[in-house]
Structure 1
Amino acid sequence: MPETDTTDAAETDAVADAEDAAEAAPSEIRGGAPAEAAEPDRSHLPLERRIEAILMVADEPQGAVHLATALRAPVKAVKAAIEALRDDYDGKPVGDRPAGPERGFELREVGGGWRIYVREGYDVDAADFVLTQTPTRLSQAALETLAVIAYKQPITRGAVAAIRAVNVDSVVRTLLGRGLIREAFADSETGAIHYETTELLLTQLGLNSLDELPPISPLLPDGEEELPL
């Protein structure tokens, strides 16, 4: 029988080991582009708390599918977590957990999505606090946004932003906090909230109705009859 060339076999094994080591090494060592850092795994965190964190900062109602996509979680699990949160806020038992106290806020379904609201019985307290903590003078941006809503109501936040050509999220929150505007309704298909002015604005302006607002046409550039849609 022919003799096996052990030298060639050893060299082949050594080359294979070196290639494996090179593949396992970081891209910086191999001379390639740095690999993107993997996102930290958050699946160990309670799904209810993760949903709660998003709802606390969201300006618009969030649907179960949207939340499931953002959290990379099954839609069924997200829906179950939402129901658990709602029952928890309402002071009902959740699974093995006994019933707790009713919270000052609630989870409400609006326009096909979910959003955290102040519970109705505590609206006055929340409104009084906001009004006493907020300076009386409105910024120019807030006045301009308020004017758009007053003349175009009911109107969505996106439509206001399109007219002013700037982001109006924080300004709308300010006007809501002042009680000068309110949520009129949510679109049944898109969930977009439409805003309208309140009686407080009429009181502040000394008007009996919106019909007493001055005509806008004389204030617009020549050739424009009304605010753009």
Structure 2
Amino acid sequence: MDKKEIKSLTEALLFVWGDPLSIKDICSVLNINKKYATTILNEMIEEFNITGRGLQIIQTNNSYQICTRPEHYPWISKLCTPKTNKGLTNTALETLSIIAYKQPITKAEIEAIRGVRCDRAIRYLIDKNLVMEVGKLDKPGRPRIFGTTEDFLRYFGIKNISELPNLNILDNESDEEAHEL
């Protein structure tokens, strides 16, 4: 297969799959190696961006997905009936940020940081598929360990956890803001 055909097939696979498709699955279906598939996908991402198409290819960890551009939301929303989507509460957002920055982390560790119980917030985040159980500690009671999901990355528009803002930068900015007031 030539490069043009591989790009065409890759676009078709991403479109039909809908959800993020792993690089491993793309390589398996197209019978190409990971390095070549990554090169092709990076070229496609750039081509989609340069040509200003209504769709974009996004990457989260080792998966790729075709989706609409966020700047087109006002027009797309006129066509689609939006689901009632409640945003995250402050409690859920605090709990989620602790999990994101400290993962893997137990419920007891989260509660120690927040100073209050967080059963409900964790359950809510699991239901929203932003957080998942990633294992259990080999300690008495076998406490569950939590971490973030691929949906978390997509929800916040980042490729991987390393793209989260540095907490030290956030602390410095809030200190500067406090001095300005």
The answer to which structure, 1 or 2, has the higher relative contact order (CA under 8 A, 6+ apart) is 2
Superposition TM-score, scaled by structure 2 size: 0.47
| Structure exhibiting the larger radius of gyration computed from Cα positions | 1
Q: Hey, which of these two has a bigger chunk of strand by percent?
A: 2
